[in-house]
Amino acid sequence: MNTTILKIIAVIAMFIDHVGFFIPNTPEWFGWIGRIAVPIFIFTIVIGFQYTSDRKKYLTRLYMFSLGMSFINLLVNYIFRDFSIADLTNNFFAPLFLIVLILSLIEKKQLKYIFLFSIWQIISLVLCSLLADIIEFPSFNSATTNAYFWGSIFGNIFAVEGGPLFILMGIFLYLARDRKINIVIVYTIFSFCCFYSSYKWGHLINTWNNLLFPFTSYQWTMISAVPLILLYNSKRGKGLKYFFYIFYPAHIIILYLIGFYLKNPPPLGP
């Protein structure tokens, strides 16, 4: 199974998951299917980083799409700000960008780059907190949504979709990439971490909990992606590179609008 097939499977699972998320009265098992999408995307981004011929271009592309998605969310949230609906926060380009950025720093094998990145994480976290909680800009329905906007711009691991746990998973997958048994161990550990964090802290409703553990109580079922990843044959496939970059924002906007109009149907008659 090549990376293109893995990405197609992940896209289908993601679409089903987002149908369940945005469209009212859909069954919960749509979300169960969707749990395999994130780990597959993380795995393929790690593989993409390993084999890309131009890592700087790869990193720049991910950041530009992350930046673009954050402003799409900003626009949509402002258009629908007067309606009682949840803010749009989806931007998985941001954690993928951070995974590739950290892997690039690791590849340099120079401690000063890791140190500078760590310092920036502290500075950007302060900036995100200042802008999101104190200044309250953008003025969305929650500080968490504000933080996601700035986190995507500043590249802060604590203020992006999925939170630091999935970024760590990407790093460990890269370190474990050469042996399939290591991949299984990494996935098992992180699936357990998702289960435990949800069980231990999932009931706490606050901004920090939403940023650190922003996933469902059944996120641990992502372990079901392991058999698919173990079938990976180290081949690239046909690519379809820009299809995945374009499909992500397009399907989210469409499903968000469909969900909005199903929840707020226009009045009939004159």
Which string of DSSP letters, residue by residue, matches 156-184?
A: -TTSSTTHHHHHHHHHHHHHTTT-HHHHH
- The answer to whether 241 and 48 have CB atoms below 8 angstroms apart is no
The fraction of the chain above a pLDDT of 90, given in percent, is 44
3-state secondary structure of 84: coil
Question: Does the pLDDT of residue 264 top 80, yes or no?
Answer: no
Overall pTM > 0.85: yes
Length of the chain: 270
∠ CA 76-77-80, rounded to 5°: 85
107: its two tokens: 């590849």
Q: Give residues with Cβ within 8 angstroms of 247, minimum separation 6.
A: 11
Distances (CA, A) of 130 to 69, 125, 224, 262: 22, 8, 39, 36
- The answer to whether 225 and 173 have CB atoms below 8 angstroms apart is no
Confidence of residue 220 (pLDDT cuts 50, 70, 90): confident
Ranges of each domain in the chain = 3-263
Residue 204 is predicted with a pLDDT of 56
- The answer to whether 235 and 1 have CB atoms below 8 angstroms apart is no
Q: Which of 2-16, 77-91, 140-154, 189-203 has maximum average pLDDT?
A: 2-16
